Amino acid sequence: MDGNLVRQLCELLQIAKTRTTPYHPSSNGQVERYNRTILQTIRCFIKSKQHNWDLFLQQLVGAVRATHNSQTGFSANMMMLGREVFQPIDVILGTSNWNVDRKEVQQYIKDLVENLNRVHDIARDNLKASQERQKGIYDLKYNQNMYNVGDVVYKLNQATKVGQSAKLKSPWKGPYLITAWRSPVLYKIKDRKTESWIHHDRIKLCEDRELPIWIKRMRNQLMDQTMDEETNEIYECPIGLPDIFKENTNVMSSSDPLMSHFIGDAAIVSAPDPLVSHTVSNSTSPENKALIDMCEKNINGHLHVQCICC
């Protein structure tokens, strides 16, 4: 759900709504971890009676909320209410002091705000230290695999058909061809009929010596298309033909001091060559006049295309 109502509700309650990558819901870790705690509590409480577990859900959740969290150092009640909630056992044993030191409303609110701020500051420090510790543990086992377009991979297949044993079937399915990538952890894979996006944790490189004919053909087509796109990018020229043939001034004039130097050098090789004179005479036809004029024009340092005289 990502409608305007949900966005406004998250903005009002200052909730940072996150999204998950396909088949890798790592950002839902806090919710799933809490659900696992609830399931463990229900499993220990109901034992063999599984039909009325919802009748005891509020009691079990209340017990979880009163338990100190190892990450924050406080219970959920302390984080939300600024105090611990009295349990029935406190009333029975007489350890509750709810009627002692009654305060005025304004003083109670002031003390509550100060207590909440102090608890939240301590919890932030504890969470930061816990996150750094968990990051160190995660990095020890983390192995990010980098893939390229055109690689052949296998996909992790966790689905089990009826009549098959998960322990006996192959955990990998494929092969697939990587056709695109959106980030270092998200790739698009394709088989004969379908293609989908997948997280890099669920694929591995295919090292088979023999590949199916269809995947070889598809890989060759993909690589040829990629090479054509790269070639078009390399040979793109910023100058157009109208810019080449437009009237500009000459590169050098006869009054240029450097021109005398070139003229002097040219006098040494001024003897006519029959082959050159024949080429020049044939090139003075109307259809070739534009090409000859091109070498006499200034093209502002752009790509110089030789004419038939050059």
- One digit per residue, pLDDT tens: the chain, 310 residues? 578 888 888 888 888 887 776 666 677 788 888 889 999 888 888 877 788 888 888 889 988 999 888 888 899 999 988 888 888 887 788 776 666 567 788 888 888 899 999 999 999 999 999 989 988 888 887 777 889 999 999 999 888 888 888 888 889 998 999 999 988 888 999 998 899 998 888 899 998 888 889 999 999 988 888 777 766 665 554 444 444 444 444 444 444 444 444 444 444 444 444 444 444 444 444 444 444 444 444 444 444 454 444 4
> Which of 201, 234, 267 is the endpoint of a domain?
234
Report d(CA 277, CA 293) in Å as an integer.
17
Q: Does the residue 175 lie in any domain?
A: yes
If asked whether residues 78 and 100 sit together in one domain, one would say yes
Structural domain count, the chain: 4
If asked whether residues 114 and 79 sit together in one domain, one would say yes
Q: Does the residue 113 lie in any domain?
A: yes
Residue 73: CB atoms within 10 Å: 17
Q: Does the residue 47 lie in any domain?
A: yes
pTM greater than 0.85 (yes/no): no
Q: Does the residue 205 lie in any domain?
A: yes
Q: Does the residue 18 lie in any domain?
A: yes
Q: Does the residue 163 lie in any domain?
A: no
Q: Could you tell me the two tokens for 33?
A: 């971890």
> Which of 42, 65, 88 is the endpoint of a domain?
65
Report d(CA 133, CA 127) in Å as an integer.
10
- Taking alpha carbons only, the member of 20, 21, 28 closest to residue 185 is 21
What domain range includes position 202? Answer: 152-158+169-234
Q: Does the residue 300 lie in any domain?
A: no
pLDDT (0 to 100) of residue 5: 87
